[in-house]
Chain A
Amino acid sequence: MSDPEDINADRIFNDDEARTPLPIGGGPTMTAGQMEEAEAAVPAGGEARSTGTIFRQMARVFRENKLAVAGLGVVVFFILFCFVGPHIYTTNQTNTQLALQNSTNNAPPSSKNPLGTDGSGFDILGRLMFGGQASLIVGFASAFVATVFGTVYGALSGFFGRWLDSLLMRIVDILLSIPVLFLLIALVTIYHQSEILLILVIAFVSWLVPARLIRGETLSLRNREYVQAVRVMGGSRSRIIGRHIIPNSIGTIVVFATFQVADSILLLAALGFLGLGVPAPQTDWGTMLSNGVDAAGNGYWWQIYPAGLCIVLVVVAFNYVGDALRDSLEVRLQQR
Chain B
Amino acid sequence: MTGYIIRRVGQSIVVILGVVLITFLLAKLIPGGEAKAVLGPKATPANIAHFNRLNGLDAPIYLQFWRYVEGLFAHLNLGYSYKYNQGVRQVIGERLPKTLTLVGVSTLIALVLAIPLGILQVVRRNKPIDYALTGASFFFYAMPDFLFGTLLIIWFSFDLGWFPVSPPTDSSAWAIFTDPRAFILPVVTLAATTVASFSRYMRSSMMDALAEDYIRTARAKGASNRRVLYGHALRNALIPLLTLLGLSLPAIVSGALIVENVFNYPGMGLLTVQSAFNDDIPVVLGTTLVITVATVIGSLMADILYAVADPRIRLGGGD
Chain A residues in the interface with B (C-beta under 8 A): 1-4, 7, 10-11, 14, 17-18, 20-22, 24-25, 27-29, 31, 170-171, 173-183, 185-191, 266, 269-270, 273-276, 286, 289, 293, 296-297, 299, 304, 308, 311-312, 315-316, 319
In the complex, the answer to whether A20 meets B204 with C-beta atoms within 8 Å is yes
In the complex, the answer to whether B22 meets A175 with C-beta atoms within 8 Å is yes
In the complex, the answer to whether B292 meets A28 with C-beta atoms within 8 Å is no
In the complex, the answer to whether A178 meets B258 with C-beta atoms within 8 Å is no
**Chain B hits for A190, CB < 8 A:** 26, 29-31, 281
In the complex, the answer to whether B319 meets A174 with C-beta atoms within 8 Å is no
In the complex, the answer to whether A17 meets B204 with C-beta atoms within 8 Å is yes
Choice from A21, A177, A189, A297 contacting B296 with Cβ under 8 Å: A177
Interface positions of B from 6 to 24, Cβ below 8 Å from A: 7, 11, 14-15, 18-19, 22-23
**Chain A hits for B101, CB < 8 A:** none
**Chain B hits for A316, CB < 8 A:** 142
| B69 within 8 A of partner (CB) | no
| B131 within 8 A of partner (CB) | yes
**Chain B hits for A191, CB < 8 A:** 31
A–B Cβ pairs within 8 angstroms, 25 of them? A18-B197, A20-B200, A24-B138, A28-B207, A29-B208, A170-B18, A173-B15, A173-B18, A174-B15, A177-B292, A177-B295, A182-B291, A182-B292, A185-B276, A186-B272, A186-B284, A187-B26, A190-B26, A191-B31, A269-B146, A274-B276, A296-B150, A311-B144, A311-B147, A319-B142
In the complex, the answer to whether B150 meets A308 with C-beta atoms within 8 Å is yes
Chain B interface, >50% SS class? helix
**Chain A hits for B158, CB < 8 A:** 296-297, 299
B197 → chain A closest CB, angstroms: 5
**Chain B hits for A4, CB < 8 A:** 7, 11
In the complex, the answer to whether A170 meets B14 with C-beta atoms within 8 Å is yes
In the complex, the answer to whether B254 meets A181 with C-beta atoms within 8 Å is yes
A213 → chain B closest CB, angstroms: 15
B156 → chain A closest CB, angstroms: 12
Choice from A174, A188, A293 contacting B276 with Cβ under 8 Å: A188
Interface readout for B202-244 with A: 1 if CB under 8 Å, 0 if not?
A: 0010011001000000000000000000000000000010011
| B299 within 8 A of partner (CB) | yes
Please, which residue of chain B has its CB at the minimum distance from the CB of A184? B254
Please, which residue of chain A has its CB at the minimum distance from the CB of B296? A177
A329 → chain B closest CB, angstroms: 18
In the bound complex, CA of A266 to CA of B251 (Å) = 13
- Supposing A14-B243, A25-B130, A293-B150 touch, asked if A181 and B257 sit within 8 A by C-beta, the answer is yes
**Chain A hits for B94, CB < 8 A:** none
Choice from A18, A24, A186, A312 contacting B134 with Cβ under 8 Å: A24
| B120 within 8 A of partner (CB) | no
Count of chain B residues with a beta carbon within 8 Å of a chain A beta carbon: 75
Residue among A25, A174, A315 having the largest count of chain B Cβ atoms under 10 Å: A174
| B137 within 8 A of partner (CB) | yes
| B96 within 8 A of partner (CB) | no
Interface positions of B from 114 to 151, Cβ below 8 Å from A: 126, 130-131, 134-135, 137-138, 141-144, 146-147, 150-151
In the bound complex, CA of A300 to CA of B153 (Å) = 14
B165 → chain A closest CB, angstroms: 8
- Supposing A24-B138, A27-B207 touch, asked if A182 and B316 sit within 8 A by C-beta, the answer is no
B29 → chain A closest CB, angstroms: 7
Assuming A189-B280, A270-B144, what are 16 further A-B pairs, CB within 8 angstroms? A1-B240, A1-B310, A18-B248, A22-B138, A27-B207, A28-B211, A173-B11, A174-B19, A178-B288, A179-B250, A181-B258, A185-B284, A187-B26, A190-B281, A296-B150, A312-B143
In the complex, the answer to whether B19 meets A186 with C-beta atoms within 8 Å is no
| B4 within 8 A of partner (CB) | yes
**Chain A hits for B200, CB < 8 A:** 17, 20-21
In the complex, the answer to whether A312 meets B142 with C-beta atoms within 8 Å is yes
In the bound complex, CA of A232 to CA of B231 (Å) = 55
| B189 within 8 A of partner (CB) | no
Choice from B153, B276, B291 contacting A189 with Cβ under 8 Å: B276
**Chain A hits for B131, CB < 8 A:** 24-25
B136 → chain A closest CB, angstroms: 10
In the complex, the answer to whether A182 meets B243 with C-beta atoms within 8 Å is no
A291 → chain B closest CB, angstroms: 12
Q: Which 5 A-B pairs have the closest CB atoms?
A: A174-B18, A28-B207, A179-B253, A181-B254, A179-B254
Interface readout for B283-303 with A: 1 if CB under 8 Å, 0 if not?
A: 011011001100110010000
